[in-house]
């Protein structure tokens, strides 16, 4: 499948188009002799390892003219978020953290209603900890996990030795 991109004023515009679609839309175009379209080679988006970025950076793409001076390809780069994007992203993280905390509180309250006298203090201690939980950085927050049962069925506190790792927000 060959791709082409439209060229106006020596600049690629719009999105690449499959050759068959281009010829259907522009039946009079001679792809071997046109300056209105150029061959295009699609490259996959780089992953976090190939092109690292933080939570406050954005992967952007553009079209780059290759060394043959007639074929274009995808180019990728990382840019810092704008203040509005930072606010939006931060709010998404904060909302997700608050939702997880509320889920844990709801889960804990349900367990408190059915807890026996041995488990009740563990659930109550966790409820106190999770309801008073605070954080300063929503991108690195570690949310306290609720108590859990070991292989013998004993309820263990979130601070017990061997407790499951806490959740990073």
Domain extents in the chain: 3-80, 83-168
Q: Strand 72-80 vs strand 37-41: parallel, antiparallel, or unpaired?
A: parallel
Q: What is the per-residue pLDDT across 69-116, written as a single tens digit (0 to 9) for each?
A: 999 999 999 999 999 999 999 999 999 999 999 999 999 999 999 999
Task: Spell out the residues 6+ positions from residue 16 whose beta carbon is closer than 8 angstroms to its own.
Answer: 3, 4, 5, 40, 42, 72
* Cut 0.75: pTM above it: no
Q: Could you tell me if 123 and 108 are in contact, meaning their C-beta atoms sit under 8 angstroms apart?
A: yes
Q: What is the per-residue pLDDT across 3-51, written as a single tens digit (0 to 9) for each?
A: 999 999 999 999 999 999 999 999 999 998 999 999 999 999 999 889 9
């Amino acid at each position: 499948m060959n791709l082409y991109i439209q060229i106006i004023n020596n600049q690629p515009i719009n999105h690449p188009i499959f050759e068959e679609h281009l010829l259907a839309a522009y039946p009079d175009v001679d792809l071997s002799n046109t300056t209105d379209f150029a061959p295009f080679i699609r490259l996959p988006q780089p992953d976090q390892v190939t092109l690292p970025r933080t939570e406050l950076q954005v992967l952007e793409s553009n079209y780059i003219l290759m060394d043959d001076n007639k074929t274009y390809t995808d180019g990728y780069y990382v840019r810092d978020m704008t203040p509005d994007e930072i606010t939006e992203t931060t709010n998404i993280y904060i909302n997700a953290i608050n939702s997880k905390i509320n889920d844990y509180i709801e889960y804990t309250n349900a367990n408190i209603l059915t807890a026996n006298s041995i488990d009740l203090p563990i659930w109550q201690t966790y409820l106190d900890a999770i309801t008073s939980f605070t954080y300063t950085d929503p991108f690195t927050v570690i949310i306290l996990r609720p108590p859990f049962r070991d292989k013998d069925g004993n309820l263990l506190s979130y601070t017990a030795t061997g407790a499951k790792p806490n959740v990073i927000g």
